[in-house]
Structure 1
Amino acid sequence: MPKLNLPPLLGASLPELTAWVQTQGQPSYRGKQLHDWIYYKGVRSLTEITAFPKSWREQLSHVPIGRADIHYKAIATDGTIKYLLRLDDGQIIETVGIPIDNRLTVCVSTQVGCPMACDFCATGKGGFQRNLARHEIVDQVLTVQQDFQRRVSHIVFMGMGEPLLNLEQVLAAIRSLNQDIGIGARNITVSTVGIPGRIRQFAQHHLQVTLAVSLHASNQTIREQLIPSARPYPLADLLNECREYVEITGRRVTFEYILLAGVNDLSEHAHELSKHLRGFQSHVNLIPYNPISEADYQRPSRDRIDNFVKILKQQHIAVSVRYSRGLDADAACGQLRATVNQSSMSFRHSQK
């Protein structure tokens, strides 16, 4: 029997799976069966596929699909669930299921840890281990879908890690999420802190997904304070690359802006931000800071938030405020990180 010449099967397309079953001496229609059982029935082992002959199933017991185990989960009072998933090498990643009315959004991770070291983010405090493979990204969505027993409608690449530093696997996962699981491309958001040249590279793929750029500052000085990786990447260069993205794709850019009391939430910052974005095909998503124990930042008052919004609107900047869900499970934006030891487990999340 030929050996498996693919990585774990999860993330593989129907043509790839069909080609693989044929290398196993099986008819091509078994590829469609395999695809349906992996993506629609969520099997974790090929031995569970009763549509296959029993003798062949037994021969496939060594072939990995690529599903991770739920190591632990925390449920917030608003219904948000944060999952710790244990990967094959023992690493732990986090993903979050966020139910809102008729929508179920999954916040997926793309790396184990994060190399960007943003000062306000728990994930960045924990360091970086490795990139995730496409099956490890897709698995997060299937895990949430199965646990909630309802279809996932939206996906945000805003979990642990910087997606554009793992672009090849992220693109492969997006293809699978769109074509194999059936998530509409316009319901997928990819977030980035901003890596020189990577937004331009991402634009060349002409995807219909939403690009969300973690700005978090109205000038370079504050941005460097909050995001150490911004030092060699001036704000003006980042914004120019975002404008190129709009020109290439025809799609607007969402700018994520964490509001930190007394740091970047003053009227002068709102006016400064407005000057940068005037005439820009964009939308500003303001996120009041969610506290983590490792940082001393504070969430602004409601009056300060409302004033920031008022100034942007006066300058004709499209803006909205996102109040994060899952706060009491440490599953909100900026709180994602898994810490596991022999006696206890604590949870945090990535803020972008």
Structure 2
Amino acid sequence: MQVNKIPVMDIAKSAEITDKINLLGMSKDELAAFFVSIGEKPFRATQVMKWIYQFGVTDFFEMSNISKKLQQRLHELACVLPPVVRYKEFSQDGTRKWVFEVAGGSLVETVLIPAEDNKQFGRKTLCISSQVGCALDCSFCSTGKQGFERDLTLSEIIGQLWVANQSYMDDVPATKRQNLVTNVVMMGMGEPLLNYEPVVAAMSLMLDDHAFGLSKRRVTLSTSGIVPKMYDLAKDIDVALAISLHAPNDTLRDELVPINKKYPLNELIKAAKAYIYDENPRHKKHVTIEYVMLAGVNDSDEHAHQLAALLKDLPSKINLIPFNPFAHAPYQRSSNNRIHAFSNILNQAGFVCTIRQTRGDDIDAACGQLVGQVADRTRRAKKWQESIEKRQQAMLLDGADIAK
């Protein structure tokens, strides 16, 4: 494992230029309006977008197809400022993790998972955060125990993809660089649909041919079920959708995913169907069901049959996720035999069901572990751990009384 800390001078340098206009995160139209506002032609937007997103250039004096006069003007007025990297860790299996410091000193994490072959030009999936912490507090997720602090800005969201791409390009000449991240999932810290406008704008840049140029089937938004925003998403952008389901009935899901109390399963499934069958015939939406496997909680044969019945009219594939334990977690990972038995029931019911391979365990890069050990500004995690310890102490005292 490789661990790197960015020198303090880099953080200081970024602080010096925050009064300039940050072009990172601007769409083509926004950049065109910016150039018009400084007396330049709108086509400069396309040129600069390619330098920023395709070549990863932050120094305007390296943008060789714009005049020296404009280079100087941009240097005075603007900047290309991604979030500051506080730490980066590269796992032995090829997984990469970054801890970013964003405005106000908050910390967020981003994880890149390569294909098993780990080839330079193979599939590389980046898991991007949309918020500092998370307000939903799913019971099996360490990120939720951190609590919610704030939404990330557009530049802080798209900057995660920019940095991940650059991590493969450090020694490559600017004009020979290319985007090596092939897939993006909005599945990091936070609930993306609760930070709707910046997330949709960031995904639009991911799809833009003048920016990252990703396929719409290679950009996925994962939601725990913010139903009203799911309907908006179907109208505003064409990307893949993943639903963090984790339970096949309302009683259990109320416990595991508390937002279910506000948007129960019947409403969630209805919204998912609407996302697939929207009025635009060009849209062929894709829905993946994410289901974390918790031993003795949601992994029985009965739960599998309930899940098959729940999803019978929803075109989808199911991704089973072995639980990743964290400190004081009240759950255990289902055994491999139990996970395969669960999967077999779903396969026999006609579903495509995959089992996610755990990656990046040596750098705590697994699903549900993001930043749980880095920051706890709301003290939710500390309070939660204290409540667990008090409960354990009470159980020990009760046991002692019974023994007497």
TM-score, with normalisation over the residues of structure 1? 0.89
**Cα displacement (A) at 1:11:** 2.1
Q: Counterparts of 2:100 and 2:373 in 1: how far apart (Å)?
A: 12
**Are 2:313 and 1:265 equivalent residues in the alignment?**
no
Q: Is the CA contact 1:200–1:245 (under 8 Å) kept in the aligned structure 2?
A: yes
Q: Distance in 1 between matches of 2:233 and 2:307?
A: 24
**Is structure 2 residue 181 aligned with structure 1 residue 152?**
yes
Matched residues in 2 for 1:314 and 1:198: separation?
33
Matched, 1:243 2:273: yes
Equivalent position SS for 2:78: coil
Matches within 5 A, 1:126-205: 126-149=146-169, 151-179=180-208, 180-205=211-236
**Structure 2 contact 145–372 (Cα < 8 Å) conserved:** no
What amino acid is aligned across from residue 91 of structure 1 in structure 2? S
Asked if 2 retains the 8 angstrom alpha-carbon contact of 1:160 and 1:336, the reply is yes
* Aligned-partner residue type, residue 309 of structure 1: S
- The answer to whether the aligner puts 1:44 opposite 2:58 as a matched pair is yes
Structure 2: 5+ residue stretches without partners? 1-17, 170-178, 376-404
- Give 1:231 deviation, angstroms: 1.4
Task: Check the 8 A contact 1:110/1:157 in 2, yes or no.
Answer: yes
Matching residue within 16, 30, 54 for 1:16: 30
* Alignment partner, residue 345 of structure 1: none
Distance 1:6 1:271, change over 3 A: farther
Shift of 1:47: 5.2
Distance 2:286 2:44 in 1: 42
Distance 1:52 1:167, change over 3 A: same
**Counterpart for residue 245 of structure 2:** 215
Asked if 1:86 corresponds to 2:79, the answer is no
Counterpart Cα distance in 2 of 1:7 and 1:193: 34
Contact 2:294 2:333 in 1 (8 A): yes
Matched, 1:334 2:368: yes
AA matched with 1:84:
V
What one-letter code is carried by the residue in structure 2 that aligns with 1:132? L
RMSD: 2.2
CA contact (8 A) 1:192 1:213 kept: yes
Match of 1:71 in 2: 86
Give the alignment partner of residue 76 of structure 2, picking from 56, 61, 70: 61
Do 2:20 and 2:79's aligned partners in 1 also have CA atoms closer than 8 Å? Answer: no
In the alignment, what sits opposite 1:278? 312
1:16 to partner: Cα distance: 2.8
Task: For 1:166 and 1:144, locate their aligned partners in 2 and report how far apart those are by CA, in whole Å.
Answer: 22
Greater mean alpha carbon deviation, residues 135-144 or residues 55-64: 55-64
Q: Larger % of helix: which?
A: 2
SS class of match (1:337): coil
Rounded to whole Å, the distance in 1 between the matches of 2:76 and 2:21 is: 15
Match of 1:116? 136
Unaligned runs of 5+ in 1: 342-352
Judging changes above 3 Å, is the alpha-carbon distance between structure 1 residues 96 and 27 closer, same or farther for their aligned structure 2 residues?
same
| 1:175 Cα deviation from its structure 2 partner | 0.8
Partners in 2 of 1:237 and 1:31 — Cα distance?
42
Q: Report the AA paired with residue 69 of structure 1.
A: V
Q: Is the 8 A contact 1:46 1:57 kept in 2?
A: yes
Counterpart residue identity of residue 290, structure 1? N
Once the two structures are superposed, what CA deviation does each residue of 1:269-319 show, in whole Å capped at 9, x if it has no partner? 001111111232111111111111141211111110111011111211221
What's the CA shift for 1:94?
Answer: 0.8
Q: Please give the secondary structure, in 1, of the residue aligned with 2:136.
A: coil
Whichever of the two has the greater Rg, that structure is 2
Which has the higher mean CA deviation after the structures are superposed, 103-112 or 314-323?
314-323
User: Percent of counterpart pairs with the same letter?
Assistant: 41
**Residue pair 1:66, 1:136 contacting (<8 A) in 2 also:** no
Match of 1:312? 346
**Is 1:321 matched up with 2:341?**
no
